[in-house]
Structure 1
Amino acid sequence: MTSLLIPDFDLGPHNTLAVPARSRFGAVVTDKGVLEQLVAEAEERGLPLRMLGGGSNVVLSSQFEGVTALMGIKGISVLDGTAEAALVEAGAGETWHDLVAQTVRQGLGGLENLAAIPGTVGAAPVQNIGAYGVELADRFEQLEAYDHEKRMFRVFSREDCRFAYRDSVFKAHPGRFTVVSVRLRLPRPWVPVLNYAGLSTLGAEREVSAERVFETVVAVRASKLPDWRTLPNAGSFFHNPVVPVAVADALIARHPGAPRYPAAEGFAKLSAGWLIERAGLKGHRQGPVGVSEQHALVLVNPGHGTQEDVAALARHIQAKVEAEFGVRLTPEPIFM
């Protein structure tokens, strides 16, 4: 059997932070059979195997002594749904934004608030991506993933995934599961979600379409967030911290006007971007990396900094914010 492995694989073009990185071997997974063959070959050679989607939510090490597999399973199809919902299934290697755009073009609403989020379909449930009042979990039906521990493909229901804020069972068990396809449930009739800054003004329009919401989300994100294709970044770098209500009350008493959002009972969500900006770090540079001048929640890498450079900047931000506000920020991207 012909080897799937490509030696000395350059990962620079495969991560949106543009961190210089290489892998001892690389490969592209184009279907489930290729994935199984790759798992077997990596094991036969005694090499660790890791999966990479769009590289939009990772900070890569300079050298990985194993196999890095790029997820390339494609395909988008609309399945037989019901009067209450349309079912859409996509391969894990599809670009997330392309999936959103295609569903909107086909007159299927439900994903438009999640437009312009970088990354692949397969990575979306791992992070339980969310924006503008909608999370992937809100539109999720099921997914199929390969269980590397049990050496079998498994179907996961919404309950199986254990979705939480930017979290899932897949994130809790890094490296164990590889998502190969995702099925989404898009509601009928469609009802726009507009109760979020940037979209609320659309509610005054006589008729609001999914396409109108989609275009607005794309425009708002472009105005606030730097494009990784021109200024390397990994999107939002820190989780919005969820803290006890008493902590949020005390912080807002000291800083009136600080953003605050609902969370689980007894807790409140704060804005990580606001905390970083108020700590004086918006636009801050530290060697080859820095904090975006557009949005304080985004770390940028204009100087081709390494994983170590990014980690040092993240620690500096955490220390400053904790000293100023008593709140500890948690990084969102995975260091790997």
Structure 2
Amino acid sequence: MQELHDAPLAPLTTFRLGGPATRLVTATTDAEVIEAVREADATDTPLLLIGGGSNLVIGDKGFEGTALVIATKGVELDGTTLELAAGEVWTDAVARTVEAGLAGIECLAGIPGSAGATPIQNVGAYGQEVSSTITEVIAYDRGSGETVVIPNADCAFSYRHSRFKSDPDRYVVLRVRFRLEDADGLSAPIRYAETARVLGVEAGERVPLTAARETVLRLRAGKGMVLDPEDHDTWSAGSFFTNPILTAEQFAAFRARVEERLGKGVEPPAYPAGEGHTKTSAAWLIDKAGFTKGYGTGPARISTKHTLALTNRGAATTEDLLALAREVVEGVHAAFGITLVNEPVTVGVSL
């Protein structure tokens, strides 16, 4: 294992923000990951797990404890079964499955980060979520001190959530297993309206896998959601807020606020989200509350390509970012009575 002290963490995050860690350890095998975690637990040392750093907001003061970079490698593809080590680059893994002619995660192309983070957040985009293809998660259970295999049914997956996210100090994901589909080179049915429109097909139709992946990559790039060190719109965590899920009563009150603010006949985005619940669009809320693309005058601003991304224009601090996030949250609540929830994990800070 590589070990550094007073090590900068900002370069390990897509925001490029945050202070140093007291100690930074890089583990390249499952055994090294477990060893580092056990050592931290035995000495009551605070532990921060870092994969691709695409979902982290680290405070300017940094992290007092051990930051553990999970850099494990390993891809096993057997028929339609895929196993990924936690440290594998997610975008590379998606590309490999498309090259192998397997469907199920092709619309998750371009999402930054590591494979081990995908079950934690139940990563999803463009009509797909990893929960629909994950069969098992292999994790180190810090409670029992053992490596466990957790089947999909026990992962408590829901929208951008899981058992691992609800109990973040218990499990360390080591490997993730997926079951994909061999559809003779075709994608899974296209579920997302924008993707179907660009592809020129109806929702539910299949298209060649490469076409699905390339279309998603183009759509993401157009919104600043594909990492590019030269493009400050990608110095972000992607979508900073989750889409609100409202009860019938909350949605009725929300519609009334929309009508009051924007006029009769204006209908907010609404998508089924389980019995008695409706999901609406955080991006729409942000835009209609007056926070348009490029909003801001400081070093942290809303992306010029997508209202849902908060960005570091190159000289921001974490406090600059949080000030902007708080302004957006307060503005949306004042306009529509909905409190947005941040998607990235905050370390040493909060909204």
TM-score, normalised to structure 2's length?
Answer: 0.88
Aligned to 2:110: 116
- Structure 1 residues 73 and 168, CA gap change in structure 2 (3 angstroms): same
Provide the residue aligned with 1:195 in structure 2: 191
Shift of 1:47: 2.2
- The yes-or-no answer on 1:271 pairing with 2:281 is yes
Given that 1:288 and 1:301 are in contact with CA atoms closer than 8 Å, whether structure 2 keeps it comes out as yes
| TM superposition shift of 1:191 | 5.3
1:42-85 deviations in whole A, cap 9, x for unaligned? 34554222211101011012321111011111111112x5xxxx
CA distance in 2, matches of 1:268, 1:68: 38
Alpha carbons 1:4, 1:38 under 8 Å: kept = no
More displaced 10-residue stretch of structure 1: 254-263 or 312-321: 254-263
Deviations 1:265-292 (A, max 9, x none): 1111000001001111122215321111
Answer yes or no: is 1:101 the counterpart of 2:112.
no
Is 1:13 matched with 2:11?
Answer: yes
Equivalence for 1:306: 317
Matched to 1:204, the amino acid is V
Cα deviation for residue 12 of structure 1 reads 1.6
Counterparts in 2 of 1:175-186, with a 5 A limit? 175-186=169-180
How many pairs does the alignment contain?
329
Q: Distance in 2 between matches of 1:179 and 1:314?
A: 29
* 2:326 corresponds to which of 307, 315, 318: 315
Q: Report Cα offsets for 1:104-127 as digits up to 9, x if no partner.
A: 011111111111111100000000
List gaps (5 residues or longer) in structure 1. Answer: none
SS in 1 for 2:331: helix
In 2, the alpha carbon distance for the partners of 1:301 and 1:239 equals: 19
- Residue identity matched to 1:136: V
- Are the aligned partners of 1:273 and 1:296 in contact in 2 as well (CA < 8 Å)? yes
Cα shift at 1:320:
0.4
Q: Which runs of 5+ in 2 are unaligned?
A: none
Residues in 1 aligned to 2:191 and 2:141: alpha-carbon distance in whole angstroms: 38
Question: Which residue does 1:224 correspond to in 2?
Answer: 223
The answer to whether the aligner puts 1:244 opposite 2:255 as a matched pair is no
Deviates more, 1:182-191 or 1:246-255: 246-255
Residues 24, 69 of structure 2: 8 Å contact kept = yes
Change (3 A) 1:154 1:325: same
Residue 245 of structure 1: how far off its partner (Å): 2.9
Cα offset, 1:132, TM superposition: 1.1
Report the CA distance between 1:310 and its aligned residue: 2.0
- Identity, in percent, stands at 39
CA distance in structure 2 between the partners assigned to 1:328 and 1:279 by the alignment: 12
For the Cα contact (< 8 Å) 1:50–1:175, is it kept in 2?
Answer: no
| Match 1:285 to one of 289, 296, 314 | 296
SS in 2 for 1:5: strand
1:18-57 mapped onto 2 (5 Å cutoff): 18-43=16-41, 46-57=44-55
Give the Cα–Cα distance (whole angstroms) in 2 for the partners of residues 122 and 199 of structure 1.
26
Change (3 A) 1:264 1:286: farther
- Residue 32 of structure 1 and its aligned partner are, at CA, apart by 1.7
Determine the structure 1 residue equivalent to 2:213.
214
Q: Please show how residues 131-150 of structure 1 align to structure 2 within 5 Å.
A: 131-150=125-144
Letter in 2 for 1:280: G
Q: Contact 2:187/2:212 (CA < 8 Å) preserved in 1?
A: no
> Are residues 250 and 47 of structure 1, via their aligned partners in 2, closer, same or farther at CA, if it must alter by over 3 Å?
closer
Q: Give TM-score scaled by structure 1 length.
A: 0.92
Cα gap change, 1:264/1:126 in structure 2, threshold over 3 Å: closer, same or farther? same
List structure 1 segments (4+ residues) > 4 angstroms apart after TM superposition: 43-46
Shift of 1:188: 3.8
> What is the rounded CA distance, in whole Å, between the counterparts of 2:127 and 2:285 in structure 1?
21
- Residues of 2 paired with 1:176 and 1:309: CA distance? 31
Instruction: Give the direction of change, closer, same or farther, for the CA distance of 1:316–1:184 in structure 2 (3 Å limit).
Output: same
Tell me if the contact between 2:2 and 2:27 (Cα under 8 Å) persists in the aligned partners. Answer: no
Quick one: distance in 1 between partners of 2:345 and 2:96? 28
Does structure 2 retain, via aligned residues, the 8 Å contact 1:134–1:193?
no
Which is worse superposed, 166-175 or 278-287? 278-287
Cα drift, residue 208 of structure 1: 1.9
Which sits farther off after the overlay, 315-324 or 296-305?
Answer: 296-305
Kindly indicate whether residue 123 of structure 2 is the aligned counterpart of residue 129 of structure 1. yes
Mapped partners of 1:242, 1:40: distance in 2? 38
Per the alignment, in what secondary structure is the counterpart of residue 138 of structure 2?
strand
Map 1:57-76 to 2 at 5 A.
57-62=55-60, 63-76=62-75
